[in-house]
Amino acid sequence: MAKTKPKLKKPPRSSRSNSTEPIVDLNRLTDDQLLDMRMCDLPIKIGVSPLEKRIKQLYDELARRGLRFRPHCWLSEEWFSPDDIPGIAIPFYLAHPRLIRLERKQLLEVEGGTHDWCMRILRHEAGHAIDTAYRLRRKAAFRELFGKPSRPYPTYYHPMPSSKDFVLHLEMWYAQAHPLEDFAETFAVWLRPGSRWRSRYKDWPAIKKLHLMHDMMESVADKKPVVTSKARPYALSQIRKTLRTHYAEKREHYGVSLPSIYDNDLRKLFSSDPIDKRNVTAAMFLTRIRSELRLSVAKWTGEYTYTIDQVVQEMIERSRELKLRLGSSPEEAKRDAMILVAVRTTNFLHEGRRHIAV
What percent of the chain clears pLDDT 70, i.e. is strictly above it?
A: 89
Nearest by Cα to 26 from 96, 106, 76, 111: 96
Dist. CA 94–CA 55, nearest whole Å: 12
CA distance 51 to 94: 7
pLDDT per residue as tens digits for the range 30-77: 999 999 999 999 999 999 999 999 999 999 999 999 999 999 999 999
pLDDT of 192 reads 98
Mean pLDDT: which of 9-13, 71-75, 346-350 is highest?
Answer: 71-75
**Residue with the larger pLDDT of the pair 9 and 95:** 95
Q: Which residues 6+ apart lie within 8 Å of 249 measured at CB?
A: none
303 pLDDT more than 50: yes
- Asked whether the beta carbons of 16 and 44 are under 8 A apart, the reply is no
The residue that leads in pLDDT, 354 or 333, is 333
Kindly report which listed range (138-142, 151-155, 192-196) carries the lowest average pLDDT score.
151-155
Report the residue count for the chain.
358
Q: Which residue has the higher pLDDT, 356 or 312?
A: 312
Query: Is the separation of the CB atoms in 82 and 131 below 8 Å?
Result: no
The answer to whether 46 and 73 are in contact (CB under 8 A) is: yes
What pLDDT is stored for residue 15 in this prediction?
A: 42
Using the predicted structure, report yes or no on whether residue 123 has a pLDDT greater than 80. Answer: yes
3-state secondary structure the chain: CCCEECCCCCCCCCCCCCCCCCCCCHHHCCHHHHHCCEHHHCCCCHHHCCHHHHHHHHHHHHHHCCCCCCCEEEEECCCEEECCCCEEEEEHHHHCHHHHHHHHHHHCCCCCCCHHHHHHHHHHHHHHHHHHHHCHHHCHHHHHHHCCCCCCCCCEECCCCCCCCCCCCCCCCHHHCCHHHHHHHHHHHHHCCCCCHHHHCCCCCCHHHHHHHHHHHHHHCCCCCCCCCCCCCCCHHHCCCEHHHHHHHHHHHHCCCCCHHHHHHHHHHCECCHHHCCCCEHHHHHHHCHHHHHHHHHHHHCCCHHHHHHHHHHHHHHHHHHCCECCCCHHHHHHHHHHHHHHHHHHHHHCCCCCEEC
Segment 275-282 mean pLDDT: 95
Sign of CA dihedral 131, 134, 140, 141: negative
- Asked if 106 and 123 count as a contact pair (C-beta separation under 8 A), the reply is no
Phi then psi dihedrals of residue 82, to 5 deg = -60, 150
In terms of Cα–Cα distance, which of 358, 277, 321 is closest to 106? 321
Stretch 184-201: mean pLDDT: 97
Average pLDDT, integer, range 212-238 = 98
pLDDT level of residue 16 (50, 70, 90 thresholds)? very low
Percent pLDDT > 90 in the chain is 71
Angle between helices 305-322 and 290-301 (to 10 degrees): 130
Average pLDDT (325-352) is 84
Calculate the average pLDDT of the chain: 89
Interval 279-297 mean pLDDT: 93
CA dist 291 to 218, 286, 295, 297, Å? 36, 9, 6, 10
Pairwise CA distance, residues 131 & 129, whole Å: 5
What is the distance between the alpha carbons of residues 103 and 92, in angstroms, rounded to a whole number? 10
**In the beta sheet, which residues pair with residue 88?**
73
Q: What is the pLDDT of residues 147-171, one digit of tens each?
A: 999 999 887 778 888 899 999 999 8
